[in-house]
Amino acid sequence: MNLKIPALEFVQEVKNGNISAEDFVAKTLERIQSVDDKLHAFLSVNEKAIDQARVIDKKVKSGDKVGACFGMPISIKDNICIKDSKTTCASKMLENFVAPYDATVITKLKEEDAIFVGKVNLDEFAMGLTTEFSAFGPSKNPWNTEYVPGGSSGGSAVSVSAFECVASLGSDTGGSVRNPASFCSTVGYKPTYGLISRYGLISYANSIEQIGPLTRTVKDAAFILNIISGLDPNDNTTVDNKNEDYLSEIDSGIEGKKIGIIKEMIGDGIDPAVLSATKDAISKLESLGAICEEVSLDMVKYSVAAYYTITATEAGSNLARYDNLRYGYDFPVEGYEFNSYISKARENFGPEVIRRMIIGGFVPSAGHAGKYFLKAMKVKSKLTREINEAFKKFDLLIAPTVPIMPFKIGEKIDDPVSLFLVDINTVTANLTGKPAISVPFAISNGLPIGIQLLADSMQDKLLLQAAYALEQTVTLPEVPI
């Protein structure tokens, strides 16, 4: 059984009766058993996965209608609700929280007969870039287990890259899908804001985050997008994509397309290996007929500061509900007045979450909003204006997903400021609502490098076409685990 096949190939094989979903899912669970001790991608595994696969095989055999996923085993970041299963956000605060409902993306995937093999690790409440801030321990990079897998959707990237599932759903607030995708050599895609419903995604910074797929191939990302995108009455911020088919015409190529190289994202501090991979990608795109030219987005230099100000503000509010009064962990209320109970209960948050909530209490407060929060909002709107200007001239923008190479676990954990700079190339897409994708492009000294493409709002189809073209220009070695 080849667990390394992409999603679309898996679907074809089950459809044709060459493999059974049950076998594949069983082998996948075995794989998780054998490698996850080392990698720690999973926080929980679905005990019923094999039974569910059996039901699908039956449907295939009897010629009943089968959903588009044909029992494809996928992993779900543990901040997305699946009914009757634990959704912890990798936090002690929600250690025992069992979601009573399905996220919209889960409902849609269930309808198409996907199988959720398990919930995967993340930085607590998705706040981090390395998955080291999980309350249940870090995940490891399958390319070298001494290295971080990126974050916050580290478990998603690890599980896809180590063949513990065919695809995964993560969430991307400032690069949380693209960053680990780049570090683990998978495709990671954040769609236009509003393209995928956030209903059932536990909010961190709700005004800029999106759920996104992590997959082996660009085609797989388009396939999953077809299933989970579109208007949702449960999320007022979703946009109508008129049932766009992102998979059709994905091989249209990029001849004649104008691509802007974002100057501020290949500047100071960039790793030479990342820079040379980026140059290589540009020349490969040029050889396919694209016209590449440098473009400056002046506001990028303030984007990380704005990003942390805005996300901390929203996080401070979004995480206020975790007072342990209605759900949470075991901690009796007797003998407490409510203010002291809430303070005590909230000590269960991890240090990074507490750090951000303290910032979030400060930057929008009455005496300081003008200096911090409102200024950050100004940067956000200026950056949006700049990028909109750029998209008048260019069809796409390009930059490395992360300007530095993956680093060792523990190497930067005590250095939040330098860690924050890892965000510099990814937060722009979130602050402006634009779609962006990370495509695996190179391996340097045994560690992956991803290249990021951005497109204008609702140009996700064009973005996926370009990503597909770029993907076809390279053949990468297999993960060593």
- Which residues are at the interface with other proteins (CB under 8 A)? 79-81, 87, 89, 94, 97, 99-101, 103, 198-203, 206-208, 233-237, 313-314, 316-317, 320-323, 325-327, 338-339, 342, 361, 364-366, 369, 373
Cα 32 to Cα 44, 45, 207, 310, 338: the distances in Å are 11, 9, 34, 37, 43
Q: Which residue among 85, 91, 139, 176 is the active-site one?
A: 176
DSSP annotation of 209:
-
160 near 184, Cβ under 8 Å?
yes
> Would you call 412 a catalytic residue per the annotation?
no
Quote the least distance from Cβ 88 to other proteins, whole Å.
10
Quote the least distance from Cβ 340 to other proteins, whole Å.
11
Which residue stretches of 197-345 are H helix?
A: 218-228, 272-287, 300-318, 338-345
Quote the least distance from Cβ 334 to other proteins, whole Å.
9
Quote the least distance from Cβ 112 to other proteins, whole Å.
21
> Would you call 92 a catalytic residue per the annotation?
no
Which one, 239 or 387, has the nearer CB to other proteins?
Answer: 239
Which one, 181 or 201, has the nearer CB to other proteins?
Answer: 201
Which one, 125 or 223, has the nearer CB to other proteins?
Answer: 125
Which one, 197 or 401, has the nearer CB to other proteins?
Answer: 197
Record the tokens describing residue 236, joined without a space.
Answer: 């007022």
Contacts of 114 (CB under 8 A, 6+ apart): 67, 69, 71, 72, 73, 74, 227
Record the tokens describing residue 239, joined without a space.
Answer: 């946009």
Which one, 258 or 336, has the nearer CB to other proteins?
Answer: 336
Strand partners for 170: 212
Which one, 237 or 283, has the nearer CB to other proteins?
Answer: 237
Q: What angle do CA 73, 75, 80 make, to 5 degrees?
A: 135
Burial class (CB in 10 A: 0-12, 13-18, 19+), 255: exposed
Strand partners for 169: 76, 213
Which one, 87 or 438, has the nearer CB to other proteins?
Answer: 87
DSSP reduced 3-state for 8: helix
Quote the least distance from Cβ 445 to other proteins, whole Å.
40
Read off φ and ψ for residue 400, nearest 5 degrees. Answer: -65, 150
119 near 87, Cβ under 8 Å?
yes
Which one, 75 or 91, has the nearer CB to other proteins?
Answer: 91
- Tell me, what amino acid is at 276? S
Q: Which residue among 77, 190, 257, 380 is the active-site one?
A: 77
Quote the least distance from Cβ 366 to other proteins, whole Å.
5
Q: Which residue among 152, 153, 159, 303 is the active-site one?
A: 152
Quote the least distance from Cβ 329 to other proteins, whole Å.
13
Record the tokens describing residue 230, joined without a space.
Answer: 């579109």
Q: Which of 324, 349, 318 is nearest to 338 (CA)?
A: 324
Contacts of 460 (CB under 8 A, 6+ apart): 191, 192, 195, 225, 241, 244, 246, 435
CB atoms within 10 A of CB 109: 26
DSSP codes joined into one string, 274-297? HHHHHHHHHHHHHHTT-EEEEE--
> Would you call 77 a catalytic residue per the annotation?
yes
DSSP reduced 3-state for 150: coil
DSSP reduced 3-state for 30: helix
Quote the least distance from Cβ 298 to other proteins, whole Å.
25
Cα 199 to Cα 94, 170, 384: the distances in Å are 18, 14, 25
Residues marked as catalytic:
77, 152, 176
